[in-house]
Structure 1
Amino acid sequence: MRQLIHDRGFYKTFAALTLSLALQNLLTYSVNLADNLMIGQYSQQAMSAVSLCNQFQFFLQMLVTGVAEGVIVLGAQYWGKNKLAPIRDIIGVGLRFGLAIASVMFFLALTIPDTLLQAINNDPVITEEATKYLRIVCFTYLLFTLTHTLTASLRSIGVVKVGYVLSFSTLCINITLNYCLIYGNLGFPELGIQGAAIATLTSRIVELGIIICFLSWKEKTLHLSVNNLLHIDTSFIHDYIHVALPLLITQATWGIAQIVQTAIIGHLEDASSAIAANAIAVLVFQIISVVGYGAASAAAILTGKAVGIGDLLLLKRQTITFQLIFGALGVLTGLGIYSSTDLVLNFYPTLTPETREIAVQFIAVMAITSVGTCYQMASDVGIIRAGGSPSFSMKNNTIFMWGIVIPAALISAFICKLPAVAVFFFLKSDQLLKAPVIFYYTNSYKWIRKVTRE
């Protein structure tokens, strides 16, 4: 117990950051939940189509998160050293990388949406519906990248409240426009799945407008402006690449793996039911695990700051404290997911009995594996990466995902012909398997590295 943090101020800071980031995550995922529920009540096929398109959005989100994490790791350490000028340059570098990635994805989604969708799904009806959605929603990619990178970058100096203001506005706009455009209410045309895409695009435009206004009139620490984001010290590009490249590779391999996982599910015998069940199970996990992800992001800020200050004793005590918190959150998350099953499924009246049964099984798997997720993911992101060792995360995630999970799922699905729930378990098994490795490396303290200039 002596090795734990006993300072009340630390816990107040950590709790405030965690709850703020958790609220932002909750509101962000609630946007997806609103889309999922409202289009799911329109038709199961439309819900499956949106679920497929969200895989590309998720892949972009993974890459942009990698870009933002590079900014956060460097920015938090400079913040710990009380040097703010380099943070502006680092944010400018991160924005350039993020927009380049988003531009490529936008071009592919706009020009060959059917080719992309056929690669992860064998149902022509779902592909046709998904193409209508993707051709519109791809215009959000650049907007999302700008907003997400700027918002995440502000976390490096502890500014988090603007994030949930953005997410709350998006949620309100999205629900309102979904109601009007999906079903044709209040005099609007009934556009179905295309209406959902237009609602999402509109909300992303408003999001970007809010963050620009915040940076222009409210943000008083970094004094970000278009001019100092465009005209940066290019010598920081090398520093940024050194930190961010392993993170980008980690996020890219993870994002590609998620698309491959969806493709495996999309080529099972009852693909339509499995895709819908997967969308529901993953969304339930995302909603209930927001505190775990918020704790990981909060820990990353405090870990990076401690490394920047150079207080090794504080860093070790924080690390032990964080791990106990992550483990407890994992157990609570698993119990929350499992106990919510019936309540969640009651919101999907259009599900077939087969889809409902598979969804119950998938949610049970998520309840079990989430215990591992909340510990190992949070320790990886909040301690190891933030402490200056993103390359370990890259190697660890790549080995487990591509060396174990994907091969095991392919064999179980297409050689052994196991039930969908068994395939789904193999796809999520790395969340448990990585935990012992993460535990060992976290408590070895080999991850502590300063990545700032002296």
Structure 2
Amino acid sequence: MPQQKFVRDRHFYQIFAGLVLSLALQNLLTYSVNLADNLMIGAYSQNALSGISLCNQIQFLLQMMVVGVGEGVVVLGSQYWGKRQLGPIPHIIGAALRFGLAMAAALFLAALLFPYQILHLINNDPGVLAEGVAYLRIICFTYIVFALTNMLTASLRSIGIVKIGYIVTASTLCINIVLNSLLIYGRFGFPELGVRGAAIATLVSRCVELLIIVYYLKFHEHQLNLSVRKLVKIDTSYIRDYTTVSLPVLVTQAIWGLAQMIQTGILGNMDGSADVVAANSIAVLVFQIISVVGYGAASAAGIMTGKRVGEGDIGRLKQSTRSFQLIFLALGLVTGALIFAASGPVLLLYPKLTPSAAALTRQFTLVLAVTSVGTCYQMAADTGIIRAGGDTKFPLWNNSIFMFGIVLPMAALSAFVWKLSPVVVFFWLKSDQLLKCPIIFWRVNSYQWVKRVTRDT
């Protein structure tokens, strides 16, 4: 009897749905923290909103690098989990922490010592720069804490523990909203600190996040049984294993983060840059919030794909791969429709936008409604199947070629040589989300990405 092309087992979809909902909720709460900052600062002043948007590009670069470090843990850890061998995982986590904390410390020092010089690379508006520098001088102290929290969370995700993530983020959201209200506007006797108040609120929230995750690991997690001793005294041979898998992922994420900074620099140096940057900030946040299920599906598929590769059952792996692709495409269509529907109502949340910024926000959001269909398919197949299956080099080359060979050159030419409208430039900046779909479809269905990256213990 021929094997079914798609997974028919209801239990498979129940596990997948549980992971997706937990991860999507965590992503939603994470972006809700950003939305709270965005709305409260947006109501304070447009320059403050644009200034924080610039600083968020540095945060995004850090996030991409931390994700790269964490994904190495997930790829290796989930395959060991599939083999029912948990012993090597603490060694892998220890290796990841060394890389992640070193990068976070370097970025912290750069932002602390050269805030104006860094932000001036991506914007030239004096009012926006002043607000951005004031924010960056404080927010840079969150970088090391953020990196540590996210790498520890990734270690839990590698063995299917995801619920603690949204508990941590929910706590952050509540604390951040309360402190933002008190410190941005100076309510209930607190000083009015504007962007500095928003930065302090985020710093406190990040510290609470770390305390919660450390408490959970110490008192409630009983599979890995992590301790400071385990993370410091590791078998250094696992550093080589980890580096082999993680280095391409880390470079991919770092390049992606750098590319996003360059994109913001292109938009930030166009005529009317304050309006363009504000519109970009709002439109991208709308996309991030609505697409949380798509990103959750990618992460969930990554955990399950890594486990399937570790188990060594290629027939079942092919079934789940086909099923995941249909789910990704359906989520893309739903996400695009929701972003389209939100393109008008979102402007009601930002009454202090200039007419030009409001018009650009609507146009940028409509562009994202189209490109998000491609994002939900190709991003999820790339990171949730190909990378998680052990092929970490293909995403590096694929993303680099499209970003630096097509997206950035065409956007720069459109902005500074051909002097086209901001919406055309913005479309070019997001065009790779559609252009990458055919090659991702070919690669994922070739199954050349299936690679067991673990060792027998």
Would you call these one fold, judging by a TM-score over 0.5? yes
How many angstroms apart in 1 are the aligned matches of 2:356 and 2:275? Answer: 7
For residue 269 of structure 1, give the secondary structure of its aligned residue in structure 2.
Answer: coil
Cα distance in structure 2, aligned partners of 1:87 and 1:162: 19
Partner of 2:10: 8
Taking the aligned partners of 1:363 and 1:14, their CA distance within structure 2 comes to 29
Amino acid at match of 2:312: G
How far 1:2 moved relative to its partner?
3.1
Partner of 2:342: 340
Look up the match of 1:20. Answer: 22
Query: How far apart, CA to CA, are the structure 2 residues paired with 1:325 and 1:161?
Result: 22
Residue 292 of structure 1 aligns with an amino acid whose one-letter code is G
Q: Distance in 2 between matches of 1:63 and 1:343?
A: 34
1:353 aligns with 2:355: yes
- CA–CA distance in 1 between the matches of 2:249 and 2:391? 10
1:31 to 33, 44, 53: 33
Question: What does residue 74 of structure 1 align with?
Answer: 76
SS of the residue 1:346 aligns to: helix
- Mapped to 2, the partners of 1:79 and 1:233 lie a distance apart of 18
**For 1:192, which of 191, 194, 202 is the aligned residue?**
194
Q: 1:226 aligns with which of 220, 225, 228?
A: 228
Alignment partner of 1:431: what SS?
helix
What amino acid is the match of 1:339?
Answer: A
What residue number does 1:276 align with? 278
Map of 1:26-425 to 2, 5 A cutoff? 26-425=28-427
The Cα of 1:344 is off from its aligned counterpart by: 1.2
AA matched with 2:297: A
Which amino acid letter does the alignment assign opposite residue 260 of structure 2?
Answer: Q
Q: 1:118, 1:161 → 2: CA distance?
A: 40
Query: Aligned partners of 1:23 and 1:300: how far apart in 2?
Result: 17
Offset of residue 186 of structure 1: 1.4
Structure 2 stretches lacking a partner, 5+ long: none
Distance 2:188 2:151 in 1: 36
1:216-265 residue CA offsets vs partner (Å, 9 max, x unmatched):
10001110111101111110000000000000110011111000000000
Distance 2:409 2:343 in 1: 29
The number of aligned residues is 454
Amino acid at match of 1:220: H
Distance 2:304 2:271 in 1: 47
Structure 1 alignment gaps of length 5 or more: none
CA distance in 2, matches of 1:306, 1:125: 53
Question: Residue 72 of structure 1: SS of its match in structure 2?
Answer: helix
Task: Give the Å deviation of 1:342.
Answer: 2.0
C-alpha separation between the residues in 2 aligned to 1:343 and 1:172? 25
Q: Which moved more, 1:333-342 or 1:133-142?
A: 333-342
Residue identity matched to 1:213 = Y
Deviation of the 1:304 alpha carbon: 0.2
Paired amino acid for 2:183? L
Could you tell me how far 1:153 is from its partner in structure 2?
1.4
How far apart, in 1, do the equivalents of 2:306 and 2:367 lie? 33
Q: In the TM superposition, what whole-angstrom CA distance separates every residue of 1:135-173 from its partner, at most 9, and x where no partner exists?
A: 000000000000000001111100001100110000000
Residue type at the aligned position of 1:399 = I
Counterpart residue identity of residue 114, structure 2: I
Aligned counterparts of 2:445 and 2:215: Cα–Cα separation in 1? 43
Aligned-partner residue type, residue 380 of structure 1: D
Q: Deviations over 1:349-391 (max 9, x none)?
A: 1001010000000000000000000000000010000001010
Which amino acid is the alignment partner of residue 95 of structure 1?
L
- Whole-Å separation in 1 of the counterparts to 2:256 and 2:215: 33
* Distance of 1:66 and 1:397 partners within structure 2: 14
Alpha carbon RMSD of aligned pairs, Å?
0.7
d(CA) in 2 for partners of 1:420, 1:414: 11
Cα distance in 1, alignment partners of residues 356 and 147 from structure 2: 38
The 2-side partners of 1:290 and 1:120 are apart by 27
Distance 1:294 1:90 in 2: 24
- 1:400-449 residue CA offsets vs partner (Å, 9 max, x unmatched): 00000000001111111000000000000000000000000000000000
Distance in 2, Cα, partners of 1:80 & 1:333: 32
Matched AA of 2:162: V
SS at match of 1:85: coil
- Paired with 2:355 and 2:207, the residues of 1 have a C-alpha distance of 39
1:441 aligns to 2:426 (yes or no)? no
1:159-199 C-alpha deviation (Å, 9 max, x unpaired): 00110011000000000000000001111111011000000
Identity %: 62
SS of 2:88's equivalent in the other structure is: helix
1:432 aligns to what SS in structure 2?
helix
1:345 CA drift (Å): 1.1
Matches of 2:155 and 2:404, distance apart in 1: 30
Q: Distance in 1 between matches of 2:158 and 2:67?
A: 13
Amino acid at match of 1:350: K
